[in-house]
Chains A and B, each alone.
Chain A
Amino acid sequence: MFTEVHHCLADMAATPSPPAGRRAMRCATKRNRAVSGVASEKQTRVQQDAWVAAMIAVRDARDEAEFARLFGHFAPRVKAFLMRSGADATLAEECAQETMAALWHKAHLFDPSRASVATWIFTIARNRRIDALRRQRRPEPEDLPWGPEPEPDQADVLALQQDSAKLAEALAKLPEKQRVLIEKAYFGDLSQTEIAEQTGLPLGTIKSRIRLALDRLRHAMK
């Protein structure tokens, strides 16, 4: 069955943000890390924007140099993800290549107002893993009636990418033990225990942002 991650993440996608008091407390305990935290969040953000630009160059101009940059960063991480999920090196190499080739072929489906490049590649790699390792089909939700937008609103793109950068930084700053548990859940390691404590990852903001975008689009479709 699915993993026994009882998490803390539990309420996170459901509730928009932690109560102000708790947040203030966390800020206080992390004050000494704040300066480097901001700097590295900004770096993450700049890097994410660069990946979005690279994806758009691949999508619109079939830019092989930009593809090579994406490949250099993401292919070894996809390979790592697949090996952590139980693939041997040969299969992981092959699936990582397939994942990156799919990125090229499906570039027109990439929507930077809905996902970061890392997230989008994760979903492709995950589906390759289900196919190759578990030999199962992956039922997907039906497409939204409007499909991917040709030109999403720039403000939406910026906001989503910013939230993704914050999430990435928050994950990196989690205590080792909690982070490893979350990684195991995503790598498909089923010998699971529980994530007992609140991790405080900012999932709620991303959920709210996607939800607003969906509401707006549904409204526009009426």
Chain B
Amino acid sequence: MTMTRTMPDITHHLSDRLLMAYAAGTLPEAFSLTVATHISLCDECRARLGAYESLGGAVLDHAAPVAMAEDSLAATMARIRAGAPDVPPAPRRAPGVLPAPLCDYVGGDLADVRWRPVGMGVKQAILPTSRDATARLLYIPAGAAVPDHGHRGTELTLVLQGAFVDETARFGRGDIEIANEDMHHMPVADIGEDCICLAATDAPLRFRGLIPRIAQPFLRI
């Protein structure tokens, strides 16, 4: 087994709010992608998701029923006999750095990411999701500052390779940072290895271009 296939030691988990909203199916696609990617690496949050889905089941079971159309069962049996629709199977365990849900959006693993330089050695790749939120992969050279992309709204940052540190903590593979507008900090990629993150934000799309305001060039720590 390679390092990337074992479950990483995760200390920064999804919030209950995010998990419940993902269980309910009310998150923007970019956020769902981030949650699904974290859960692919984290059994703890997978189990917590199971609990919130159980609550969804209880809510469904408790709902006051609405009568189905008269021929409904027959119509459904006809659908069944017409054959199974092409449902893509749940993504299988990915062997590389990117967990399966991300591979799906990238169309492969790290080697297939179409990076665009944004300055100071930092690269990004915006992933195709619905427009209510944006998901991007960020590549930050070891020791470099993470570009300040402005915490408007909520921003999730999930580490996939390497690590970053800020004033409060260290975030390694699988760790997720949940930042809101009042958060001002300057995370820096760990010196050991180039850092790759998945960042999702519900900030308006005009931020899509990510104008990097990299104040500090390379902070060596």
Taking Cβ atoms with an 8 Å cutoff, the residues of A that contact B are 1-3, 5-7, 9-14, 64, 68, 71-72, 74-81, 83-84, 89, 92-93, 96-98, 100-102, 104-106, 114-116, 118-123, 125-127, 129-130, 134-145, 163-164, 167-168, 171-172, 179, 182-183, 185-188, 190, 201, 203-204, 206-208, 210-211, 214-215, 218
Closest-by-CB residue of B relative to A68 is B73
Known contacts A142-B94, A203-B52; A96/B58 CB under 8 A:
no
Are B25 and A188 touching (Cβ within 8 A)?
yes
A11 and B19 alpha carbons, distance in the complex (Å): 12
Are A77 and B65 touching (Cβ within 8 A)?
yes
Which residue of B17, B77, B153 is within 8 Å of A5 (Cβ)?
A: B17
Known contacts A2-B21, A80-B65; A105/B77 CB under 8 A:
no
Are B93 and A143 touching (Cβ within 8 A)?
yes
Are B68 and A96 touching (Cβ within 8 A)?
yes
Taking Cβ atoms with an 8 Å cutoff, the residues of B that contact A are 7, 16-21, 23-29, 31-33, 35-37, 39-40, 43-44, 46-69, 72-73, 75-77, 79-80, 84-85, 87, 89-94, 99-101, 104-105, 129-130, 133, 153-154, 202
A187 and B52 alpha carbons, distance in the complex (Å): 13
Are A126 and B29 touching (Cβ within 8 A)?
no
Are B29 and A7 touching (Cβ within 8 A)?
no
Which residue of A3, A138, A182, A203 is within 8 Å of B51 (Cβ)?
A: A203
New A-B pairs, 17, CB < 8 Å, besides A77-B63, A119-B54, A136-B29: A3-B21, A5-B20, A7-B20, A12-B16, A71-B72, A93-B69, A101-B76, A115-B57, A126-B23, A139-B101, A141-B49, A143-B90, A143-B93, A144-B93, A171-B62, A186-B56, A211-B43
Contacts of B27 in A (CB 8 A): 2
Contacts of B133 in A (CB 8 A): 1
A31 and B79 alpha carbons, distance in the complex (Å): 49
- Taking the closest CB of chain B, its distance from the CB of A213, in whole angstroms, is 8
Are B87 and A118 touching (Cβ within 8 A)?
no
Contacts of B90 in A (CB 8 A): 140-143
Are B84 and A76 touching (Cβ within 8 A)?
no
Are B63 and A116 touching (Cβ within 8 A)?
no
